[in-house]
Amino acid sequence: MNIYVILKRTFDTEEKITLENGRVIDESAEFVINPYDEYALEEAVQLKEKHGAEVTVVTVGYEDAEKELRTGLAMGADKAVLINTEEDLEDGDAFTTAKILAEFFEDKELDLILAGNVAIDEGTGQVGPRLAAILDIPYVTTITKIEVDGAKATIERDVEGDVEVIETTLPLLVTAQQGLNEPRYPSLPGIMKAKKKPLDELEIDDLDLEEEDVEAKTQTVEVFLPPEKEAGRILDGEIDEQVSELVSLLHSEVKVI
């Protein structure tokens, strides 16, 4: 079984975001594997341990992402691929990433692709479904359980407080969310072994793509921080008086009714 995991290098969730002239300043920020991608990687490694699969982690990004790929190798992946866009692309979006990945997977024998449900930096949740659509393979998002039996997969996913069970066939793409598993920490032996595992680097030209083929379909108009949360207000009086005042405030101040 050939399993691929799509990773993204993102801000550490504890980082304080700084904006300057409408852009995020990240020069001093700490970066990590996107947390949702960690669930995808852990599930891939568990499937490897159960079925004897080969796991390859793939990312589209800059050379700095090699650190996160090495972490993926230390967690149990067998191979890593960095599709380096640093020299070829200044901007990109979900379409760009999906298009590049689709070209990479075009000649690959694959059974399963796992990705995070969303990336915590942009949160569009588009790359996985877009990639599956281009590759013309089934996909299931926000999964909480997956079992593979030969060419069949049985999947569970949360749907509005209930559980949906889906049966489908491989090849397949799924996106992982919290609750699927508990990602492991890289062990010292794993870190040492990761240094010797293969990490290949490709560029846009290696995939027979031109810059115009992967040009972003969206444009960021403005980036801003949410307004600071105002202090709450405690309503006094009897219940009917509180209700009357609440309705008045929702109408006159909040303007939601």
Going from N- to C-terminal start, the domains of the chain cover: 2-214
Q: Could you tell me which residue, 21 or 124, shows the higher pLDDT?
A: 124
Domain 2-214 annotated CATH 3.40.50.10420: no
Q: What is the pTM (predicted TM-score) of this model?
A: 0.85
Is there a contact between 143 and 173 (Cβ–Cβ < 8 Å)?
no
191-245 tens-digit pLDDT: 999 999 999 999 988 998 888 889 888 888 888 777 888 777 888 888 998 899 8
Q: Is the pLDDT assigned to residue 14 strictly greater than 80?
A: no
Q: What percentage of the chain exceeds 70 in pLDDT? A: 98
Pairing of strands 199-203, 79-84: parallel
Mean pLDDT of the chain: 90
Going from the C-alpha of 173 to that of each of 18, 69, 115, 225, the distances in angstroms are 35, 20, 8, 34
145-166 tens-digit pLDDT: 999 999 999 999 988 889 999 9
**Which residues, in sequence order, are bridge partners of residue 202?**
83
- What is the rounded end-to-end Cα distance, in angstroms, of the chain? 56
Provide the token pair at 55.
Answer: 């796991």
* d(C-alpha 213, C-alpha 187), whole Å: 41
* d(C-alpha 235, C-alpha 242), whole Å: 6
Q: Going along 36-117, which residue ranges are E strands?
A: 54-61, 79-84, 112-116
Q: 3-class DSSP state for residue 126?
A: coil
The one-character DSSP state at 78 is S
